Amino acid sequence: MKLQVADLNSFYGPAHILFDIALEVGEGEVVALLGRNGAGKSTTFRSIVGLVENRSGRIVFEGKDVSREPTHAIVRGGLGYVPEERRIFTDLTVEENLEVGRQPKRPNAPYWTREKLFTLFPNLGEMRNRPGGRMSGGEQQMLTIARTLMGNPSLVLLDEPSEGLSPKIVEQMVDAILAMKKEGVSIVVSEQNLHFARLISDRVYIIERGKICFGGTIAELDARPDVRDAHLSL
């Protein structure tokens, strides 16, 4: 098991946001976390990497409980995180953005170099010295993923990578995620869009109001139209 989350509860101030979240990700698996806006997807990711400090529960990554470690230590252990709002360093160039994400090679994870990433995301290779602030939304989204891959993670949390992108860029995103999977990176991707999840993931979890209310394969979800309609239809 690559990542195992159990009994995860999170709070923003006095507000209880996540309730006993449990999810598992196998080696090399792509898992989708589906849910509506505000269901708790981003908070789940932020809690796993320690950006939500007020949390309790077990977060076992590669056999080690990381729930008490600071964010940077969790990430250095090989758990990469791509935030939802992109959060490119706008004053830094593409290459400098990648430099911030660079970490040493890891034995159990694919090794990414700038050149390898520029083949995966050809657009970025053409604008190596452009400041992040002068890139389109799609290019910025590519850059955030590439930046996280520079840390050679063995698992990546991808928070709504298709949000606000044009259909053509979404296609590129699907290709990129499948390429990452082929390299052997395990991936958890949060999504509102079942169609997108269908294209990339092996299994799905559905989250609603801070609780996991379904877990299973796409086929199992298709067998339960009631669940799908109750939690995903807009």
Q: Which residues bind other proteins (CB under 8 A)?
A: 49, 51, 70-73, 75-76, 81, 83, 87, 89-92, 96-97, 99-103, 147-148, 151
Closest CB 25 distance from other proteins, rounded Å? 19
Q: Please say which residue, 79 or 212, places its beta carbon nearer to other proteins.
A: 79
Q: Please say which residue, 106 or 228, places its beta carbon nearer to other proteins.
A: 106
- DSSP string over 132-158: GGGS-HHHHHHHHHHHHHTT--SEEEE
Closest CB 168 distance from other proteins, rounded Å? 27
Q: What is the CA radius of gyration of the chain?
A: 17
Q: Which residues contact 160 (CB under 8 A, 6 or more apart)?
A: 41, 42, 84, 190, 191, 192
Distance (Å, rounded) from C-alpha 197 to C-alpha 201?
Answer: 6
Closest CB 128 distance from other proteins, rounded Å? 14
Q: Please say which residue, 16 or 72, places its beta carbon nearer to other proteins.
A: 72
Closest CB 101 distance from other proteins, rounded Å? 5
Provide the strand spans (E) within the chain: 3-12, 15-25, 30-34, 55-61, 64-65, 79-82, 155-159, 186-191, 203-208, 211-217
Q: Please say which residue, 4 or 71, places its beta carbon nearer to other proteins.
A: 71
Q: Which residues contact 116 (CB under 8 A, 6 or more apart)?
A: none
Closest CB 52 distance from other proteins, rounded Å? 11
Q: Please say which residue, 18 or 75, places its beta carbon nearer to other proteins.
A: 75
